[in-house]
Amino acid sequence: MANVSRLAGVFVVVLALVLVVAAAMPLLASSGGDANPRPQNPASFQPGNIIPEDLEQNGSISIDASGEERVVLIDQAHDNDFDREDIEPMVDALIAQGYEVRFHGGSGPGGGARPAGPGSSSPLNESLRSADAFVVISPERRFSDAAQRGLVDFADRGGRVALLGEPTSSTSSVISIFGPAPGPDVTSQMTPLSSRFDMSLSTGYLFNMFENGNNFQNVYASASGDGPLTEDVDRVLFDRATNVNVGGDATVALSATDRTALSATREQEEYSVAAVNGNVALVGDTSFLTPENHNYADNEVFISNLAEFLVTGQKEPKPEPDARRPGAPPGARQPRPPAAGQPPTNDTTPPTTPAAP
Amino acid sequence: MSAENGANGTAAWLYVAVAVAAVLIGVFLAPQVMSLTQGASQDTPDSVAVVPIEGPITSSTADQISANLREVRRNESIEAVVLDVDSPGGTVPASEALYLAVNRTKAAGIPVVASVNGVGASGAYWAMMPASRIYVTPGSIVGSVGVIGSQPAGGPGGNQIVTGPDKGPGGTQEEFRDRVELLRQQFVTTVMNNRGDRLDLSREELSYAKVYAGAVAQRNGVADEIGGTDAALQRAAENADLENYAVTRMDPPEQPGLGIVLGSQDTRASNDSRTQRVVVESSPFDYNGVETPHYLALYGTPEREGVSDDG
């Protein structure tokens, strides 16, 4: 009898143990691991679907010019928005070919434009007398009327002028300490000058959502017609360019590819990025000159053509002024002759002997 | 002596036999007992969980929301999920982690429906892509399929010495551009793969990164239905074949005690109309004292610094 009760006790204890374990299992399982720990592999996470196109960078700037002695003057007197390292590839190529590169104005000795009084020649015009070509990059200060007239005269006499500008509307590409911040609006000071040559810049930027250099603001432009800037150029990649408007005798040199739009209107039209009018070229971008961008697509070919354009002009000497300039008030000072020493430039590269062609 | 031993051996076998019988019976009864305790551990047999996605999406908030979704997958009483969204997005890594968590929940066979109450933009929109339907109110804001990249100034400063030219910023500007483009491709591809058949927008149009009011989004396919969270709950329950269901609201993610300001705000005005102070407190996306590149799937422009022009 005792055995029977013991056996019953064992039965009850074992059964209770099993049922307790069974009852506890769901409670224990609910605090366990993920019910669906399967790894995921969405298509949008596959590198082959999302890695952008690798933009090739190759080639170098090659200037094929006569090798005659030429002086290229680069403006720094109008709050120009560039650093010297930004244009180093073209400057280096010019110097390597024996051409002289000077900078007008800037923060060095003799830098900065002085106000030109009535009848006086502007400092720029004095610098231009000894130059064969003049480059203006993103001026944020207006050229004086005298300087503008001087540049028109410079170009009329065969001097070559390259005007390079950027969009002036606010941009989100300014990198702040934390994130993109709207940049300040800067009023373009290029158009008052370029309009004297029947060309102007738009204020917005060009973008292309369909075909671009891995960013919608990196637009391609292709050669339009035969001109001094487009020889052997297929496509040029511009980082945030603007539209170039042409009129009169100016002709388009580079046109943005199809479906490019302008930020101001969002309209897809035909937009120009570079144009030429005689001895003057206008490009709606400056960043293609930088060491980082100078050899994307055919950028280096375009820069080579631009450099050749600058050093192949045939500038005629300025005719000697009459005893008194027409229209000048009696007693007004005559334009000063070139200074005995250097013109008011600074940081000039040493004059060099042009390399043998 | 031997007879006693024989009796003891027989008794031992009897005990073993009884124990085995008890185990067998226990195993037989175990499923019933398990179902009883399983039911006892559940609030209701069938429920739809509301998982809030609120505020900027950071690694911290994404972890909390992912934990809620993990709980949804574990809890067998929860048959469907409604994402209750009011967020402008956040960092790209946190947003894509959240997307994966939602995607995993859907892959577990749990219907997922999204309901936007306020803003469901950029990284928040990314996260709700696996949802079968997106409910919006006419005035809610959805979209902003794009990425913001910001990079600290390159190069060593002061007396720093770095071991490589890209140690600070992490790469050249061109590599940075390509990285941001990769993230755009990933985001756009995710949207197109999940909703391409419903969108009236091309990849390029989507890449403009516009936001749309709910009423417009319902028409162009960025969202599916006009309705609030109740409508989304109803849809989620229908997708789970639930006629009667309870609603289990999960805890919203806790923001880590920071003043978060997206956009500037004027907090003081003085007699001088030119004087204003814009104060933006700590950013949820930053490390203290370290400038790092940021990749944000965010609708809006974050600001961090205190700005004062009163002088």
Window B:68-97, CB contacts with A under 8 Å = 70, 73-75, 96
pLDDT(A357) > 80: no
Distance CA B126, CA B175 (A): 24
Note the pLDDT of residue A14: 85
From the candidates A50, A172, A263, which should be mutated to test the interface with B, based on the most B CB atoms within 10 A? A50
In this complex, how many residue pairs, one in chain A and one in chain B, have their CB atoms less than 8 Å apart?
152
Rounded distance, CA B275 to CA B294, Å?
A: 31
Among B38-42, B59-63, B258-262, where is mean pLDDT lowest? B258-262
For the cut 70, the answer to whether the pLDDT of residue A202 exceeds it is: yes
Nearest CB to A177; choose among B11, B296, B305:
B305
For residues B260 and B302, give the distance between their C-alpha atoms in angstroms, rounded to a whole number.
9
**Which of A3, A32, A179 has its CB closest to that of B294?**
A179
Residues of B with CB below 8 A from A15's CB? 22-23, 25-26, 29
Choose the closest CB to B21 out of A11, A49, A179.
Answer: A11
Q: Which residues of A touch B27 (CB under 8 A)?
A: 18
**CB of B181 closer than 8 Å to CB of A52:** yes
* pLDDT tens digits, A36-80: 456 677 888 888 888 888 899 999 999 887 778 899 999 999 999
Q: How far apart are CA A190 and CA A200, in angstroms?
A: 8
pLDDT digits (tens, 9 = 90+) for A96-119: 999 999 999 865 443 444 444 444
Least confident of A49-63, A204-218, A239-253, A326-340: A326-340
Q: Which of residues 264-303 of A touch B (CB under 8 A)?
A: 292
Cα(B157)–Cα(B168) distance, integer angstroms: 10
The pLDDT assigned to A105 comes to 86
Interval B251-278 mean pLDDT: 49
Measured between beta carbons, which residues in chain A are less than 8 angstroms from residue B189? 43-44, 49-50
**Long-range contacts, stretch B5-14, CB < 8 angstroms, 24+ apart:** B11/A3, B14/A3, B14/A7
Whether residue B207 lies within 8 A of chain A, CB to CB, comes out as yes
CB-based contact A7:B21 (threshold 8 Å)? no
The per-residue pLDDT for A107 is: 57
Stated length of chain B: 311
Q: Does B269 touch chain A (CB under 8 A)?
A: no
Using CA atoms, how far apart are residues A319 and B311, in angstroms rounded to an integer? Answer: 54
Tokens standing for residue B129: 């892509």
B123: closest CA among B100, B156, B151? B100
Using the Cβ of B296 and the Cβ atoms of chain A, whether some distance falls under 8 Å is answered with yes
What percent of chain B stands above pLDDT 90? 58
Residues in B touching A17 (Cβ below 8 Å): 26
**pLDDT reported for residue A6:** 80
pLDDT recorded at residue A328: 44
Is A107 an interface residue toward B (CB < 8 Å)? no
Bridge pairing between strands A235-239 and A218-223: antiparallel
Which stretch of A40-49, A255-264, B78-87 has the lowest confidence by average pLDDT? A40-49
Asked if B150 lies within 8 A of A32 by C-beta distance, the reply is no
Q: pLDDT tens digits for B223-242?
A: 999 999 999 999 999 999 99
Contact check, Cβ <8 Å, A36/B173: no
pLDDT digits (tens, 9 = 90+) for A136-190: 999 999 999 999 999 999 999 999 999 999 887 444 443 333 334 444 455 568 9
Cβ neighbours of A14 in B, within 8 Å: 18-19, 22-23, 26
* B135-186: pLDDT as tens digits: 999 999 999 999 999 877 666 666 778 888 888 888 888 899 999 999 999 9
Nearest Cα to Cα of residue B139 among B119, B122, B113: B119
Over chain B, what is the mean pLDDT?
83
Nearest-CA residue of chain B relative to A3? B11
**Residue of A49, A57, A48 lying closest to A297 (CA atoms):** A57
Would you state the pLDDT for residue B138? 93
Contact yes or no for B73/B267 (Cβ under 8 A): no
Domains within chain B, CATH numbers bracketed? 42-145+190-249 (3.90.226.10)
Question: What chain A residue is nearest to B280 in terms of C-alpha separation?
Answer: A178
CATH fold for domain A71-170+186-311: Rossmann fold (3.40.50)
Residue of A nearest to B75 (CA): A30
Helices (H), A78-218: 88-96, 123-129, 145-156, 191-194
For chain A, the 3-state helix, strand and coil shares in percent, each to the nearest 5, are 25, 20, 55
Identify the residue whose tokens are 């100078």.
Answer: A294
Q: What is the pLDDT of residue B300?
A: 87
DSSP A333: P
Of residues A219, A211, A225, A266, the one with CA closest to residue A239: A219
The pLDDT of residue B281: 45
Rounded to a whole number of angstroms, the distance from the CA of A157 to the nearest CA of chain B is 41
> What pLDDT, on the 0 to 100 scale, is given for residue B141?
95
Q: Is A2 on the interface with B (CB under 8 A)?
A: no
Q: Is the ipTM of this complex over 0.85?
A: no
- Judging contacts by C-beta atoms under 8 Å, the chain A residues touching residue B150 are 175-176, 178-180
Average pLDDT over residues B283-302: 78
Average pLDDT for A205-227: 94
| Confidence at B37, pLDDT banded by 50, 70, 90 | low
The residues near B123 (Cβ < 8 Å, ≥ 6 apart) are B57, B87, B88, B89, B90, B91, B92, B94, B95, B98, B296, B297, B298
What is the structure's pLDDT at A26? 63
**C-alpha distances in Å from residue A298, one per residue of A215, A284, A307:** 18, 16, 14
pLDDT (mean) for A253-266:
95
